[in-house]
Chains A and B, each alone.
Chain A
Amino acid sequence: MSDKDIKKATRHVNQNEGLIFERSSPGKKGYRLPPLDVPEVDYKKALGSAARPDLGNMPEVSEMEIIRHFTRLSTWNYAIDLGMYPLGSCTMKYNPRVNEVVARLGGLAEAHPYQPEKVSQGALRIMKTLSDCLLDITGMDAITLQPAAGAHGEMTGILLIHALLKSKGNPRKKILIPDSAHGTNPATAAICGYAVENLKSNANGMVDVSALAAQMNEDVAGLMLTNPNTLGIFEQEIAKIAEILHQKGGLLYMDGANMNALVGKTRPGDFGVDVMHLNLHKTFSTPHGGGGPGSGPVACKKSLEPFLPKPVVIQKPDGTLGFDYNRPQSVGRVRMYYGNFGMHIRALAYIMANGPDGLRQTTEDAVLNANYIRKKLEGVYELPYQSGSMHEVVFSDSIQAHKGVKTGDIAKRLIDYGFHPYTVSFPLVVHGAIMIEPTESESLEELGLLVDAMKSIAREVDEDPEMVKSAPHTTRVSRLDETAAARKPVLRWKP
């Protein structure tokens, strides 16, 4: 293999590090408690048979070792701070540092969820301000910030639909879901007690409107639609889609995963959506943190408002803010307390840093970046759908597959070029999908490096397919045996 075309990355030494348990030995300490200012209690006497004899193999290490241990681990991760994450559908954008600073202010980070409302006005004001912003961004009438993540928001939204239909006499049996949808959509419909019915896409990668009309009936509660869809294509017949649903008494749910293509340019509430979730960890820059925490507010139209999870933030007659628990038609709670408040702070800080002009420019840049990549890679990789791209573009590996190289192999080779892979094998409607979402956070230079890397890999596929198939070659571990991991799971360390 040759690294001559790898411009973005160079190999460098990184430190080996075992498991923390392998560093542990009795008597080492990473803490010191203040002296106790009340009488000591013999816990064994106080607890009797409920007392714990010891804490088994919990580690015993010093502070210095803890810093080295976790710092070393951190250097084995790729991160948005290091470079581009072209992960389609994931919106891996810059996570501003001011968000982290304001989320850690004492009065916010140390606020107890049950402290009296009169000493929680600041926290409530943040929730209210964020809610107002998100309502205008989505064009909706009411909102809950309680759901903890996107899939949790989906569940909340479908429960709202269920509750509204039930209040009219029949919650109905089915939810329609396009074949291009995220896996969370059908899983959500199922946990809300609905049967899932697949909806086929047409040749342009959009909802087949005549198929929808044929499938829509009084058994269907609603349609879960991602718009732009997972092919990065805006559903141009969205108004017709909404109309077909509404005519038969169904509701339109929008998965807001791809909202980064729309903010400030169009509003789901204006094009017929009844209820949707937002991913604050995608569109609104809260950090992914290696897989969470996220936050999935759900915005809806007036008709669904009475069913929102309780409590909701309200302005009281005296002008102060508070929580309203008296919501007899509410679907209930989906999470304790008020949601991932720390993420609400960060999302609001992001909106304030942007303002209306910045949010619009952000959307335009995100769409510009995706179209630039599309233009530069079209022909090198097959573009299965010709419809215009919004914030992401989906290619396929069909040209490279002739050499036996698949999308997953190309993705792994991209690692050697200093990039995180794109989204592999999704959406399911494209065989061998290569799904790229650059976001607005990438400069022309970084985009150029990605384009060059993808072109270079395409050449490598021609010249040395085996090398691509065994990538990555520069990481601290090579491809890991996932089959063995699943066949005989080792899910914890043992002494």
Chain B
Amino acid sequence: MRYLPKSPADREQMLREIGCKSVDELFAPIPAQYRLNRDLKVPRQMAESEIIDFFRQCADTNAAGYAVFLGAGAYHHYRPVVIDALISRGEFLTSYTPYQAEIAQGTLQAIFEFQTMICELTGMEVANASMYDGSTGAAEAILMAVRITGRNAAVVARSVHPEYREVMQTYSQHQGIPITECGYLENGRVDMADLDKKITADTACVLIQSPNFFGTIEDVAAIADLAHKKGALLVVSIAEALSLGVVKPPVEADIISMETQSFGVPLGFGGPYAGVLATKEKFVRQMPGRLVGETKDKEGRRGFVLTLSTREQHIRREKATSNICTNQALIATMVTIYMTVHGREGLKELAQQNLAKAAYAAGEFSKKGKLLFAGAPRFNEFVVQTKEDPHAINNRLLEKKTIGGFTLARFYPELGNAAVWCCTELNSKEQIDTAVQAVGQ
């Protein structure tokens, strides 16, 4: 086996030195009736070339090289080549969690830079080292709000990503945290009157998404006012991080939970991605997840360490803020490199391109169908309602190597034949025109 660095003679020598006749003696602690006396039913040992062939075949039966108009929480953006060049370095790729700070300063400094950039982008005071993804991050944000306020319920907007809401439900139900949902208006924004009714003295937080699942940018300040007036916190979930290139960050929020996939992370059929929580300094001790802090060594040199770990499971066990251990460090490093490549001007320029593509596409689509939620600003997603079932449209598009918008009927039956479409810098005018044509057929 090519990954194993021992010769038969090495093994024999080691067994001799241990004082064993055969390796089976080392497995004697396993009761005989439970020892497996057959080969595992897994594919036979393969050559590297065969492995590549297998996965290439799999890749070829997936949609490769298609034009993509799907967003809905996962966004196709261009990934600068320096990202993979850098994160493929073994020192990033094959290092462990940086508990031993003296020999992990590379990862620690990169994460410190990640935390800083997330703060700059979101307008929050502190950010953690990452969460599994946006959906679990949002669920953990609710639990965090419960710890901070001592209240025990949450109100979540129906315009939050449906799968995020399912994850929140899974997380909160066992802690006895009821989640109520609040509706949306004709313009796609949170229904303030409904929200007003839903917030009670037991509401720990209101959780919204902006841009929301329909692509609509919420009036965060107004929602924050309402939540705060009633003693609840505001959690804002951001699924499309690139929106922050042009959209004012939701600084009125108490906690921001962001999915960072847009920043250089491959779509990868849904993962791995990286979430992140950002909040105010005063709430940091209730925040889950790892944190990197700056400090000094014995000679006074700057260095970085994992800090405030008394919040975490390996110290606090059942009293920890969360059970999270492994996070998404390498993905956070990808995101940091992406943010560095584009920086202060590039993120804005890129976000402007996304906005322009979506505006053009929405205009064209509105000639063939009805553009829903037109009354509020959008970023790179928009909802089109058609006479025909969007599945039929999407089937036609597949023949043109195009993947159409996300059909909303499963989660929002009240919207009828509607789909949410996404246009990024990777959607050319030609692709958009092709898609619009298929809608009109």
A239 interface contact, C-beta 8 A: yes
B136→A334 contact, CB < 8 A: yes
Give B262-296 as 1s and 0s: 1 = Cβ < 8 Å from A's Cβ atoms: 00001111111010000000001000001111111
Pairwise interchain contact A61-B340, C-beta atoms closer than 8 A? yes
Interface range for A? 35 or more
Binds B, one of A62-70, A211-219, A396-404, A453-461: A62-70
Select the residue from A80, A109, A239 with max chain B CB neighbours within 10 A.
Answer: A109
Q: Given the complex of chains A and B, what is the CA–CA distance between A212 and B282 in angstroms?
A: 43
Contact with A along B82-119 (1 / 0, CB 8 A): 10111111111111111011111111011111011101
Give the residue name and chain of the A residue nearest to B97 (CB). Answer: A291
Question: Cβ of B97: which chain A residues have Cβ within 8 Å of it?
Answer: 288, 290-292
Most B Cβ at <10 Å: residue of A69, A116, A191, A345: A191
Specify which chain B residues have a CB less than 8 angstroms from the CB of A332 in the assembled complex: 166-167, 169-170, 173
Q: Give 1 or 0 for each of B1-43: 1 = CB within 8 Å of chain A CB.
A: 1111110001101110111100100111111001110011111
B328 A292 Cβ-Cβ under 8 A: yes
Which residues of A are found within 8 Å of B105, using beta-carbon distances? 73, 76-77, 476-477
> Do residues B60 and A353 form an inter-chain contact, with CB atoms below 8 A?
no
Residue-wise, chain B 295-326 has the 8 Å CB interface mask toward A (1 for contact) of 11111010111011110111111111011111
Closest chain B residue to A443, Cβ basis: B5
CB-nearest residue of chain B relative to A416? B102
Contact A36 B330 (CB under 8 A): no
A213-246 at interface with B (beta carbon < 8 Å): 233-234, 236, 238-239
Asked if A491 contacts B115 (CB within 8 A), the reply is yes
Q: Which of A110, A125, A193 meets B267, CB within 8 Å?
A: A110
Interface flag for B345 (CB, 8 Å): yes
Known: A356-B42, A482-B305. A55 touches B268 (CB 8 A): no
Q: Does B204 make an interface contact (CB < 8 A)?
A: no
Minimum CB–CB distance from A390 to chain B (whole Å) comes to: 7
User: Which residues of B have CB within 8 Å of A357?
Assistant: 1, 39, 45
Write out the residue numbers on chain B whose beta carbons fall within 8 Å of the beta carbon of A477.
101-102, 105, 297, 301, 303
Instruction: Tell me the bound Cα distance from A447 to B360 in angstroms.
Output: 63
Size category, B interface:
35 or more
Contact A291–B129 (Cβ < 8 Å)? yes
- The chain A residue with its CB closest to the CB of B174 is A193
Cross-chain contact B58 with A122 (CB below 8 angstroms): yes
Is the C-beta of A322 less than 8 angstroms from some C-beta in chain B?
Answer: no
Q: Is the CB of A444 within 8 A of B13?
A: yes
- Residues facing B in A43-77 (CB within 8 A) are 43, 46-61, 63, 66-67, 69-71, 73-77
Q: Does B365 sit within 8 A of A, measured CB to CB?
A: no
Q: How far is the CA of A95 from the CA of B303 in the complex (A)?
A: 28
Which of B68-76, B180-188, B195-203, B228-236 interfaces with chain A?
A: B68-76
The answer to whether A338 and B269 touch across the interface, beta carbons within 8 angstroms, is yes
Once A119-B63, A387-B29 are accepted as A-B contacts, the answer to whether A336 and B323 lie under 8 Å apart by CB is no
Q: Kindly identify, within residues 241 to 271 of chain A, every residue whose CB is under 8 Å from any CB belonging to chain B.
A: 262-267, 270-271
Residues in A with CB closer than 8 Å to B13 are 444
Q: How far is the CB of A196 from chain B (nearest CB, A)?
A: 4
Q: Is the CB of B346 within 8 A of A75?
A: no
A contact residues around B269 at 8 Å (CB): 108, 111-113, 120, 123, 337-338, 341
Assess whether A187 is interfacial by the CB under 8 Å rule.
yes
CA of A236 to CA of B30 in the docked complex: distance in angstroms?
A: 6
Are A352 and B344 touching (Cβ within 8 A)?
no
Interchain CB contact under 8 A, B95 and A289: yes
Q: How far is the CB of B95 from chain A (nearest CB, A)?
A: 4
Is A371 an interface residue when CB atoms closer than 8 A count as contact?
yes
A333 interface hit (Cβ, 8 Å): yes
Q: How many A-B residue pairs have CB under 8 A?
A: 696
Query: Which residues from B are CB-within-8-Å of A446?
Result: 5
How far apart are the CA atoms of A188 and B288 in the complex, in Å? 13
CB-defined contacts of B328 to chain A, threshold 8 Å: 291-293
User: Do A151 and B313 contact each other (CB < 8 Å), given the known contacts A39-B360, A40-B356, A188-B323?
Assistant: yes
Nearest neighbor of B125 in chain A, beta-carbon distance: A492
B322 touches A336 (CB 8 A): no
> Taking the complex as formed, is B329 at the interface, i.e. its CB lies under 8 A from any CB of chain A?
yes
Q: Does B56 contact A (CB under 8 A)?
A: yes
Q: Are A155 and B58 in contact (CB under 8 A)?
A: no
Assess whether B56 is in contact with A481, with CB atoms less than 8 Å apart. Answer: no
Contact B113 A50, beta carbon cutoff 8 Å: no
Q: Is A203 an interface residue (CB 8 A)?
A: no
Check B355 against A41 for contact (C-beta < 8 Å): yes
> Given A52-B248, A477-B105, A481-B297 in contact, is the A335-B29 Cβ separation under 8 Å?
no
Residues on A with beta carbons closer than 8 Å to the beta carbon of B330: 287, 289-293
Query: Given A74-B106, A352-B43, A485 and B295 touching (CB < 8 A)?
Result: yes
Most A CB contacts (10 A, CB to CB) among B97, B116, B325 go to B325
Cβ of A480 and Cβ of B102 under 8 Å apart? yes
A492 near B82: Cβ-Cβ < 8 Å: no
Distance between Cα atoms of A386 and B51 in the complex (Å): 42
Q: Is A236 a contact of B297 with CB atoms below 8 Å?
A: no
Interface residues of B in 203-258 (CB under 8 A from A): 217, 244-249
Q: Check B100 against A33 for contact (C-beta < 8 Å).
A: no
Stretch in B150-158, B331-339, B366-374, B381-389 touching the partner: B331-339
A21-B113, A31-B80 are contacts. A291–B59 as well, Cβ < 8 Å?
no
- Chain B residues near A290 (CB-CB < 8 A): 92, 95-98, 104, 106-107, 110-111, 329-330, 333
Q: Which residue, of B34, B104, B163, has the highest number of chain A Cβ atoms within 10 A? A: B34
Contact in complex: B308, A341 (CB < 8 Å): no
Query: How many angstroms between the C-alpha atoms of A125 and B58 in the bound complex?
Result: 7
- Residue A339 is within 8 A (CB to CB) of chain B in the complex: yes
* Residues of chain A with a CB closer than 8 A to B394's CB: 116
Decide if B417 is an interface residue (CB 8 Å cutoff): no
Residues of A within 8 A of B14 (CB): 368-369, 372, 444
Assuming the contacts A74-B106, A337-B271, A491-B291, asked whether A112 and B403 have C-beta atoms less than 8 A apart, the reply is yes
Say whether B23 contacts A368, CB under 8 Å: yes
Return the chain B residue nearest A132 by Cβ.
B41
**Known: A334-B136, A334-B170, A341-B271. Contact between A122 and B61, CB under 8 A?**
yes
Give bound CA distance, A475 to B327, whole Å. Answer: 26
> Which B residues are CB-close (under 8 A) to A479?
102, 297-298
CB proximity of B235 to chain A, nearest CB, Å: 16
**A80:B90 contact, CB within 8 angstroms:** yes
Q: Which chain B residue shows the least CB distance to A52?
A: B248
Residue of A nearest to B244 (CB): A52
Q: Point out the residues of chain B lying under 8 angstroms from A112, CB to CB.
A: 63, 68, 70, 74, 76, 267, 269, 403
Q: Which residues of B contact A103 (CB under 8 A)?
A: 268
Q: Check: A207 CB closer than 8 A to any chain B CB.
A: no
CA distance A318 to B440 in the complex (A): 31
Q: Determine whether A283 belongs to the interface, using a CB cutoff of 8 Å to chain B.
A: no
Inside 8 A of B161's CB, which chain A residues have their CB? 336
Contact B17 A336 (CB under 8 A): no
Q: Which residues of B contact A79 (CB under 8 A)?
A: 90-95
Q: Are B292 and A491 within 8 A (Cβ)?
A: yes
**A37 interface neighbour in B23, B80, B175, B428, Cβ under 8 Å:** B428
For A315, what are the chain B residues with a Cβ–Cβ distance below 8 Å?
Answer: none
The distance in angstroms between the C-alpha atoms of A478 and B72, with both chains bound, is 47
List A contacts of B245 (CB < 8 A): 52, 55
Hey, which chain B residues are within 8 Å of A271, CB to CB? 31, 34
The answer for the CA separation of A357 and B316 in the assembled complex, in Å, is 41
Expressed in whole angstroms, the Cα–Cα distance for A470 and B102 within the complex equals 12
A52 with B249, Cβ < 8 A, contacts A287-B93, A333-B167 known: yes
| Chain B: minimal CB distance from A110 (Å) | 6
Q: List 8 A-B contacts (CB under 8 A).
A: A30-B340, A58-B347, A104-B84, A234-B29, A292-B331, A355-B46, A420-B96, A486-B307
Beyond A57-B116, A73-B107, A376-B17: 14 further Cβ-contacts under 8 Å? A19-B116, A31-B341, A43-B246, A63-B82, A70-B110, A79-B91, A122-B59, A151-B323, A184-B323, A265-B35, A390-B26, A475-B102, A486-B293, A486-B308
By Cβ-Cβ distance, the 3 closest A-B pairs, closest first, are A289-B330, A337-B270, A355-B45
